[in-house]
Amino acid sequence: MSTNVETQALPVTSVGGAFPILPPVNRWDSAQASGLSPLQLLAYRSNLLGSDRSVANWGGGNTSCKSTEVDFRGRQPRVLWVKGSGSDLGTIRPEQFTGLRLDDVMPLLERDVMSDEELIVYYEHAVLKPGQPRASIETPLHSMLPFDQVDHTHPDAIIALCAVPEGPEMAQRLWGGRAIWVDYERPGFSLGKKIAMAVRERPDAACVLMAKHGLVTWADTAEACYARTIDSIGRAAEALAERADRRRVFAVGADVPRVDREVLIAALPALRGAVSQRQPMVLRLDTSDPARAFASRPDVAQLASAGPACPDHLVHTKPWPQVVPLEAARAGAEELVRAFREGVAAFEERYATYFRQHAGEGVAMRDPAPRVVLVPGAGVVTTGPDAFQASVAAALYERAIAVLSTTGGLGGFAPLTRSETFDVEYWPMELYKLGLLPPPKELAGRVALVTGGASGIGRAVAQRLAAAGAHVVVADRNQPGAQEVAAGLVQTYGERRGLAVGMDVTDEAAVLRAFEETVLAYGGVDVIVSNAGISTSHPIEETTLDEWNLNQSILSTGYFLVAREAFKVLRRQDRGGSIVFVASKNGLVGGRNAAAYSSAKALEIHLARCLAEEGGGAGIRLNTVNPDAVLQGSGIWNSAWREERARTYGIPPEQLEEHYRARTTLKVNVFPEDIAEAVLFFASPRSAKSTGNILNVDGGVVASYTR
């Protein structure tokens, strides 16, 4: 079985629920760094910083180096290499840095004012070579500082120190007056020049601390710059830990009773449906002890709703989270469902008010649904248009929790004001980063469960739906096979795009468990493909009761059980859905020597018609795809079924495929991928007005033409 709940672990102390910010570890490896070019060394240093999310949030911070390069003329200009916009320090590669000619960018130091748009255009003229990423908007501080190596990071410890009332005094004590304090200002030319001028006036300075923002360090070598960054963060972390321990005022919620697993399973689809009103969203559930403790704090609503401690904590998480009342979390599934739905509606109304108060002419409001939901007794739920973005929101809010918990022990903190928050959230530079994400695919944000997904048609369907953007749950009693297919989906399409679950469709408990795991992994499901199958072939006189019951249990009862559990989740989501039955031509045409199989397939087709009527009012569509003679990759056709069918037609088994091709109107063979395309059509919005339908994918068998 898969893991029921994925968690994003945070460091835990003996003080239940406290989030200590620990000093980072210097991971520099001289042997690994040896022989690297300046740009490769910059990528190595950046990856080290980004490997510790308490040092560099996902997508946050930027690094640079200055080196001499050879341009297309054969000349050797001095070049600033700076992180390209939209990349992440943890994974950035050399080609994701932008090279700018220093002779072209240094004159900017003489300017007094420059808009973001002017800066972008200017840098486009200063690039070393065309086709490079857009330079970070924080490039001015890198270019104007007179050092070969510069790190700008957003570490938890520095953000916390820069957010507490006594932050400036603590900084002066820690660095002996060698830390430059800069009040908050949105990144750009003005802030970069302000920092550069302050450093030039203070040649003895060791670092720059940016209120509500982060840290700037520098050195002449990559290793020294990295070491100074790690040391600076460590100083702040140790000082914060000492102050917090001395005051012992962490408010914790570890004693709040846990929300039952069954309650979460029943309620999460309602939350997913509520946040998916404008676009399908995927949930991520963190029930780790630290997440649960923070969500259960008695002061969590006040603390979390005050505002973000830095811009990084905002872009993927919204200005504040939705907080479920403790009483609702304790009261059971129906009350939690109500709290989720009413809470999302209240959040959206509050967000719309915030937008109206700060938006100017021509600014379009982004999706107002919450990206973070705190559930006392359970933990943190994050949402996103796909699993990756839900995980990014989780990672960023994990860092926000660390800062909020720490500053809560130091007399509170000064968050970004609502005006500052809006300026960042709707800042074209930040929206540009979001625009770098690939356009959504047809099934983006949707979750599909495919039974019999380990081989044959099921595997092809799983792969096709994933290629169309779906997150696919591969359900099969062949768990190693399901895991192999799911692992391939993750490798091809990314984090959490495939999940393997064990499911014997004849086992009611196993079917229920598979849907439970799907809900815990993604929050719900949108597309259900019933495909698990079996085939037997005997004359009626030789058909045993066991053979009859086997066909009925898998092909009839199995489809019924899966559909029943799917209906429960889809109704909770209240967003409709699509169920596709993979039946057979034999469900429409009497199959000689296959009464048990053909009868069960006929039942599937009629069950789909019945459920189409039952689900229509809720927007739940039921459609059937009828394959015929799909031999490739099929476990069924590699069994005794091939020999039995060949015997029925009086031909050798090796001629069966040609026999099936020749009998079709189109004279074609049918492959698993052909069935997958038909399933995708019924799963997608293209068939939004189709239900109760049958689509034959059989090459044309006259007897199965629907009438």
For 315-329, write each residue's pLDDT tens digit. Answer: 789 999 999 999 999
Is there a single domain that holds both residue 48 and residue 173?
yes
- CATH number of the domain residue 364 falls in: 3.40.225.10
Q: Is the residue at 282 inside a domain?
A: yes
582 forms beta bridges with 625
Residue identified by tokens 């490896």 is 29
> In 452-472, which positions are buried (b, 16+ CB within 10 angstroms) versus exposed (e)?
bbbbbbbbbbbbbbbbbbbbb
Asked whether residue 142 carries a pLDDT value surpassing 90, the answer given is yes
Residue identified by tokens 């189409």 is 612
Round to whole Å and give the CA distance between 119 and 191. 13
Is there a single domain that holds both residue 183 and residue 292?
no
Looking at residue 243, what is its pLDDT? 76
Confidence of residue 118 (pLDDT cuts 50, 70, 90): very high
Is there a single domain that holds both residue 550 and residue 586?
yes
Sequence-ordered list of residues with C-beta below 8 angstroms from that of 573, at least 6 positions apart, any chain: 269, 270, 272, 273, 276, 524, 526
> In 412-422, which positions are buried (b, 16+ CB within 10 angstroms) versus exposed (e)?
ebbbbeeebbb
User: In the chain, pLDDT over 70 holds for what percent of residues?
Assistant: 93
**Between these two residues, 559 and 495, which has the higher pLDDT value?**
559
Q: Would you call 184 a catalytic residue per the annotation?
A: no
Q: Is the residue at 2 inside a domain?
A: no
From 279, 331, 268, 323, select the one nearest 297 (Cα to Cα).
323
Predicted confidence (pLDDT) per residue in 633-645, tens digit? 555 555 566 677 6
Write phi, then psi, for 631 (nearest 5 degrees): -90, -35
Q: How far apart, in Å, are the Cα atoms of 365 and each of 49, 156, 353, 355, 360?
A: 34, 30, 11, 7, 11
E strands within 15-96? 62-68, 78-83
Looking at residue 381, what is its pLDDT? 98
Q: Is the residue at 6 inside a domain?
A: no
Please count the CA atoms within 13 angstroms of the CA of 1 that sit on its side-chain side.
15
Residue 435, judged by CB atoms within 10 A of its CB (0-12, 13-18, 19+), counts as exposed
Q: Is the residue at 706 inside a domain?
A: no
Instruction: Of 195-199, 332-336, 559-563, 628-632, give the lowest mean pLDDT range.
Output: 628-632
Residue among 597, 649, 660, 705 flagged as catalytic: 597
Looking at residue 413, what is its pLDDT? 78
Lookup: tokens for 420: 């500052």
Confidence of residue 11 (pLDDT cuts 50, 70, 90): very low
Is there a single domain that holds both residue 429 and residue 455?
no
Predicted confidence (pLDDT) per residue in 22-41, tens digit? 899 999 999 999 999 999 99
Residue identified by tokens 């031509």 is 585
Write phi, then psi, for 453 (nearest 5 degrees): -85, 0
In sequence order, what DSSP letters do the residues of 493-538 get, joined into one string? Answer: H-TTSEEEEE--TT-HHHHHHHHHHHHHHHS--SEEEE-------B
Round to whole Å and give the CA distance between 21 and 159. 11
Is there a single domain that holds both residue 136 and residue 221?
yes
**Between these two residues, 412 and 168, which has the higher pLDDT value?**
168
Is there a single domain that holds both residue 394 and residue 489?
no
Confidence of residue 570 (pLDDT cuts 50, 70, 90): very high
Looking at residue 251, what is its pLDDT? 45
Angle 536-539-543 from CA coordinates, rounded to 5°? 60
**Between these two residues, 103 and 412, which has the higher pLDDT value?**
103
Choosing from 400, 435, 470, the residue where a domain stops is 435
Round to whole Å and give the CA distance between 546 and 548. 5
Looking at residue 431, what is its pLDDT? 73
The mean per-residue pLDDT over the stretch 68-94 comes to 94
The mean per-residue pLDDT over the stretch 296-304 comes to 90
Residue range of the domain that includes 604 = 447-630+670-697
Is there a single domain that holds both residue 128 and residue 178?
yes
Residue 227, judged by CB atoms within 10 A of its CB (0-12, 13-18, 19+), counts as middle
Q: Is the residue at 313 inside a domain?
A: yes
Helix, strand or coil for residue 217? strand
Round to whole Å and give the CA distance between 271 and 325. 14
Q: Is the residue at 125 inside a domain?
A: yes
Looking at residue 647, what is its pLDDT? 77
Confidence of residue 158 (pLDDT cuts 50, 70, 90): very high
Choosing from 404, 435, 466, the residue where a domain stops is 435
Q: How far apart, in Å, are the Cα atoms of 577 and each of 287, 448, 563, 567?
A: 28, 10, 12, 9
Is there a single domain that holds both residue 214 and residue 319?
no
Is there a single domain that holds both residue 363 and residue 284?
yes
Asked whether residue 221 carries a pLDDT value surpassing 90, the answer given is yes
Confidence of residue 85 (pLDDT cuts 50, 70, 90): confident
Specify the pTM.
Answer: 0.90
Is there a single domain that holds both residue 425 and residue 451?
no
Confidence of residue 255 (pLDDT cuts 50, 70, 90): confident
Residue identified by tokens 């799911």 is 486
Write phi, then psi, for 663 (nearest 5 degrees): -85, -10
Looking at residue 606, what is its pLDDT? 97
The mean per-residue pLDDT over the stretch 44-60 comes to 93
The mean per-residue pLDDT over the stretch 145-171 comes to 94
- 246 and 409 Cβ atoms separated by less than 8 Å: no
Q: Is the residue at 96 inside a domain?
A: yes
Looking at residue 684, what is its pLDDT? 98
Looking at residue 2, what is its pLDDT? 38
Q: Is the residue at 702 inside a domain?
A: no
Confidence of residue 137 (pLDDT cuts 50, 70, 90): confident
Q: What is the bridge-based pairing of β-strands 498-502 and 527-530?
A: unpaired
Count: domains in the chain: 3
Round to whole Å and give the CA distance between 572 and 449. 17
Residue identified by tokens 């914060």 is 240
Asked whether residue 254 carries a pLDDT value surpassing 70, the answer given is no
Round to whole Å and give the CA distance between 267 and 424. 33
Is there a single domain that holds both residue 143 and residue 291?
no
Alpha helices in 255-332 (DSSP H): 261-275, 289-295, 300-305, 312-315, 326-330
Asked whether residue 77 carries a pLDDT value surpassing 90, the answer given is yes
Is there a single domain that holds both residue 229 and residue 376?
no
Looking at residue 7, what is its pLDDT? 27
Asked whether residue 436 carries a pLDDT value surpassing 50, the answer given is yes
Choosing from 379, 407, 435, the residue where a domain stops is 435
Looking at residue 636, what is its pLDDT? 57
Looking at residue 64, what is its pLDDT? 97
Asked whether residue 247 carries a pLDDT value surpassing 90, the answer given is no
- CATH number of the domain residue 469 falls in: 3.40.50.720
